[in-house]
Amino acid sequence: MTPAAFAKLALALDGATQGTHGGHPDFRAGGKVFASTGFKGPDSATVKLTPEQQEMLVAAEPAIFTPVTGTWGHRGYTMIHLPAADATTMKSALAMAWKNVTASSPRAARPGGRGSSPKASPRTKRAVRAR
């Protein structure tokens, strides 16, 4: 697979747009990056997976998928060796990554998580009372 073919698959996903991040192309949905190309050279791409998805793909296709090194890799960011990849496998990986950034976040649903009403801190309450 070429970077251009990867980009075409990524941009075929609903609402996907292309931008630039760190000097290389990225693909976003709802303003959030779900994939990029060129991170480790012209034959590489990355997708934002969950750690469980990453583990499954690395085990199934080790010639294509490897975890990104360091903390990002532990969080599920996964490197793709494009010359070894086929369209069917990339469509599946990109769809998972796209869903990961477009689905409602469990964190958003938690009290105090993103999207919840902010609670006034004790410091804020003191400042309001002082007025």
Helix axes 87-102, 51-60, angle to 10 degrees: 170
Q: Structural domain boundaries of the chain?
A: 3-130
d(CA 4, CA 6): 5
List pLDDT tens digits, range 43-100. 999 999 999 999 999 999 999 999 999 999 999 999 999 999 999 999 999 999 999 9
pLDDT of residue 126: 43
Residue 92's CB is within 10 A of a number of other CB atoms, namely 12
User: Any idea how long the chain is?
Assistant: 131
From the candidate CATH numbers 3.65.10.10, 3.90.1150.30, 3.40.50.150, 3.40.50.410, the one assigned to the domain spanning 3-130: 3.90.1150.30
